[in-house]
């Protein structure tokens, strides 16, 4: 994919930061020696970690130069590294691996999550939040529009651009051999937006990106116009003229056992 649009992403900074704050609040650690923020984006989640654990050595990791530029300007005292989460290894092991809204882009969670747990010290915590919205109208309509004759050949098969979000039972079974404690929950946020175009703006910096990247300027404009029409119908205005966007997210906090296994 092309680089991420950091400014567009930050247009909804408060809404995007809230799940990270709520995930971090459930991390059962008093002190942290080393913390990694995977998929740190523009540093909004990294800043939360720095504030919570001021004595920690914190490193943010992301693939996007644009996002890392924003993060370095925001937190010049923090180390930020351009790297792919899919092949990342925590060396030395960390007390906290924090992954807010990034692992949905990384395939094969059956192998990925144990790999991340191996990067923790005994008693360390893996904290994960992933959008779980592929069945919501916002994302179903992306796929429907992409399948239209005007776009299908250019966009191609986008099913593999995001990883399958497994069941809570599956994640428990994947993590149980490594975890002394596993906390899993699902929250549906309800975001109040000005109109359907605001929903499209939100998604243009995230879920829509794999659909838009293969298109030229004119095709992209046509896709967004058609998609916005679909979103307008799916998310009608409420009594005050606003629209509401339900947004489900899956949260996982797993604490590694003292000997690296279940206890």
Lookup: tokens for 239: 């009594």
User: If pLDDT is split at 50, 70 and 90, which confidence band does 156 have?
Assistant: confident
pLDDT digits (tens, 9 = 90+) for 192-214: 999 999 999 889 878 888 899 89
The confidence score (pLDDT) of residue 2 equals 55
For the chain, the structural domain boundaries read: 6-146+158-190+246-256
User: If pLDDT is split at 50, 70 and 90, which confidence band does 160 have?
Assistant: low
Percent of all residues in the chain with a pLDDT value above 70, rounded to a whole number: 92
**Neighbour tally for 3: CB within 10 Å:** 11
Q: Regarding the domain delimited by 6-146+158-190+246-256, which CATH topology (the fold level of the hierarchy) does it fall under?
A: Rossmann fold (3.40.50)
The confidence score (pLDDT) of residue 204 equals 85
**Neighbour tally for 73: CB within 10 Å:** 10
pLDDT digits (tens, 9 = 90+) for 166-189: 999 999 999 999 878 999 999 999
pLDDT digits (tens, 9 = 90+) for 129-149: 999 999 999 999 999 999 999
User: If pLDDT is split at 50, 70 and 90, which confidence band does 253 have?
Assistant: very high
The answer on pLDDT for 161 being more than 90 is: no
Question: How high does pLDDT run on average in the chain?
Answer: 90
Global pTM? 0.90
Helix boundaries (H) for the chain = 6-10, 13-25, 44-52, 65-74, 109-118, 137-146, 149-155, 168-175, 196-204, 209-212, 217-234
């Amino acid at each position: 994919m092309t680089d991420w649009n950091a400014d567009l992403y930050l247009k909804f900074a408060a809404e995007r930061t809230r799940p990270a704050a709520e995930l971090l609040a459930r991390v059962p650690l008093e002190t942290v020696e080393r913390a990694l923020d995977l998929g740190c984006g523009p540093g909004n989640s990294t800043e939360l970690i720095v504030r919570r654990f001021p004595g920690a050595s914190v490193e943010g990791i992301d693939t996007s130069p644009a996002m890392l530029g924003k993060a370095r300007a925001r937190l010049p005292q923090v180390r930020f590294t351009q790297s792919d989460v899919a092949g990342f290894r925590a060396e030395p092991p960390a007390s906290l691996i924090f992954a807010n809204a990034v692992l949905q882009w990384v395939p094969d969670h059956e192998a990925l999550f144990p790999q991340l747990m191996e990067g923790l010290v005994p008693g360390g915590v893996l904290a994960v939040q992933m959008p779980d919205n592929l069945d919501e109208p916002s994302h179903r309509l992306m796929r429907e529009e992409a399948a239209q004759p005007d776009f299908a050949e250019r966009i191609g098969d986008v099913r593999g651009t995001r990883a399958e979000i497994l069941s809570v039972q599956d994640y428990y079974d994947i993590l149980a051999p490594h975890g002394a404690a596993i906390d899993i929950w699902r929250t549906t946020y309800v975001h109040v937006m000005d109109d359907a175009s605001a929903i499209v703006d939100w998604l243009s910096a995230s879920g829509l990106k794999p659909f838009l990247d293969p298109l030229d300027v004119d095709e992209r404009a046509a896709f967004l116009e058609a998609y916005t029409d679909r979103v307008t119908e799916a998310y009608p205005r409420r009594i005050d003229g606003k629209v509401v966007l339900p947004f489900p997210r899956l949260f996982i906090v797993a604490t590694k056992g003292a000997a690296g296994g279940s206890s």
